[in-house]
Chains A and B, each alone.
Chain A
Amino acid sequence: MILVENLHKSFGEAHILKGISTCFDQGKTNLIIGQSGSGKTVFLKSLLGLFQPEEGKICYNDRIYSQLTDDEKRDLRKEMGMVFQGSALFDSMTIEQNVMFPLKMFTDMSKEEMEERVDIVLKRVNLPDAHKKFPSEASGGMQKRVAIARAIVNNPKYLFCDEPNSGLDPKTAILIDNLIQEITKEYDITTVINTHDMNSVMEIGEKIVFLKDGHKAWEGSNKEIFKTDNEAVTNFVYSSELFKKVRVMYQEEDRN
């Protein structure tokens, strides 16, 4: 579980996060949604400690992030996995070496054990035979899946994904979403996902936090998001004709 209280983050004059409080549960896919530029990436990076928030409290279960020493922070980060918006694979390493990297760095596994573990996770993300390729030789969807494999290889307790399905076709996007959800359930991980894709919201939005202008404008589940009257949310959700129809459908469902 991750608890966030009154989080503030500015860059110089620009106040990006203006006091956000929320809670992300274990074993659930938690979604952060909002328009491009609403501060989703800044929020996620502040959770991870890549940005230092000026104010606010972040608790990882019973550990309060700001009260940890540098070494304790590094130990906590070994329990985290992160899928970056642009995958952020190490381009000097093969796919296999990328996925093996956290194991090599932080475990005492033998080479055989590491190879076995890499095989398991690469199969898990449906890349059974891409080991020797370099990231530049892989498609965007493959890179995303390698990034997921690298993030989960060392059994993280917390998984963060920054727009894991942006730039992918709808079918691959749904596959990636479902994959993340399955992994979350399978290993009982606390997962936080940034997205502005309404399909993801419908598919895996167990808990949704809606950001607007640096504030939390709304939170709830994917069942609730189509019923809320919150204007900011409806403006975002019903910007597409398709979801206007979805709303009508839900409303009719409710009447019956």
Chain B
Amino acid sequence: MALFYYMNYLENIGRYFLMIGEVFRKPTKWSIMKDLILKEIDDLIFNSLGIVVFISFFVGGVIAIQTALNIDNPLIPKYLVGFATRQSIILEFAPTFTSIIMAGKVGSYITSSIGTMRVTEQIDALEVMGVNSINYLVFPKIIALLIYPFLISIGMFFGILGGWVAGVFGGYSTSAEFIQGLQSDFDMYHVFYAFTKTFVFAFILATIPSFHGYFMRGGALEVGKASTTSFVWTSIVIIILNYILTQMLLG
């Protein structure tokens, strides 16, 4: 039984990479692809703007408050609140945790929309017409998510803004101290690290949910199940890659 599950995983990993290969074969006409990409940018990026801003702002605030409350030692300088908020948001919160949230929002949207096309035979209809359905469905999502780092930058900005608001208006730090903290020991390499992660996660966010939608079987009930499974696997892969990339780039 265990062996069976093991084989199953290997088979799925193999199928995933075959799918990735197929994404870049036999491309769809540019005039059609262009519209598909614009639609995906709208659905995947612009429709996520609100939630990313909202969550980043409040989590940024919480990070600032918690840091401030933990440094009651008078020897530690006050500007550390701004410094710690910036570091947490740029290194970890914006790239990784926003991506986990996106695995829920964007990921389940991708899985259920492709899965519905599978169960209602729309994918078969594309194939019968001679369209490379994997290219048609997955390629525009990958391209749209190339803009994902832009979303994360906005998340970073609002996270830090939230930290500043909570720090200053909560009386934990002065504005000058907070901004001094933001500017101290700024390391461009950390930004590079954050955006490298973001690009990798963007690719994962586009492809793993697509895989779960494209290869699903069954009916409407299974579409729901596939979305859940897809969220679990997308998050797991993001967490593991986060560890590997951190070890490689910072370790």
Give 1 or 0 for each of B109-132: 1 = CB within 8 Å of chain A CB.
000000011001110110111111
Q: Is A50 in contact with B127, judged by CB distance below 8 angstroms?
A: yes
CA distance A86 to B28 in the complex (A): 25
Taking A86-B121, A88-B120, A88-B122 as contacts, is the C-beta distance between A105 and B28 under 8 angstroms? yes
Q: A88 → chain B, closest Cβ, in Å?
A: 4
Please, which residue of chain A has its CB at the minimum distance from the CB of B116?
Answer: A91
Q: Is A78 in contact with B124, judged by CB distance below 8 angstroms?
A: no
Q: A50 → chain B, closest Cβ, in Å?
A: 5
Q: Is B120 in contact with A105, judged by CB distance below 8 angstroms?
A: no
Q: Is A77 in contact with B125, judged by CB distance below 8 angstroms?
A: no
8 Å CB contacts to A: which residues of B9-30? 26, 28-29
Q: Is A88 in contact with B32, judged by CB distance below 8 angstroms?
A: no
Interface membership of B31, Cβ < 8 A: yes
Q: Is A88 in contact with B124, judged by CB distance below 8 angstroms?
A: yes
Which of chain A's residues have a CB closer than 8 A to the CB of B26?
71, 74
CA distance A45 to B129 in the complex (A): 13
Interface membership of A48, Cβ < 8 A: yes
Q: Is A77 in contact with B128, judged by CB distance below 8 angstroms?
A: yes
Q: B141 → chain A, closest Cβ, in Å?
A: 14
Give 1 or 0 for each of B145-184: 1 = CB within 8 Å of chain A CB.
0000000000000000000000000000000000000000
- Number of B residues near A (Cβ < 8 Å) is 18
Taking A104-B31, A105-B32 as contacts, is the C-beta distance between A78 and B129 under 8 angstroms? yes
Interface membership of A90, Cβ < 8 A: yes
8 Å CB contacts to A: which residues of B28-68? 28-29, 31-32
8 Å CB contacts to B: which residues of A26-60? 45, 48, 50
Q: Is A80 in contact with B32, judged by CB distance below 8 angstroms?
A: no
Which of chain B's residues have a CB closer than 8 A to the CB of A210?
none
Which of chain A's residues have a CB closer than 8 A to the CB of B127?
50, 77
Q: Is A84 in contact with B125, judged by CB distance below 8 angstroms?
A: yes
Q: Is A77 in contact with B121, judged by CB distance below 8 angstroms?
A: no
- Besides A74-B26, A91-B122, 19 more A-B contacts (Cβ < 8 Å) are A50-B124, A50-B127, A74-B132, A76-B130, A77-B128, A77-B129, A77-B130, A82-B125, A84-B121, A84-B125, A86-B121, A88-B122, A88-B124, A89-B122, A90-B117, A91-B116, A101-B129, A102-B129, A105-B28
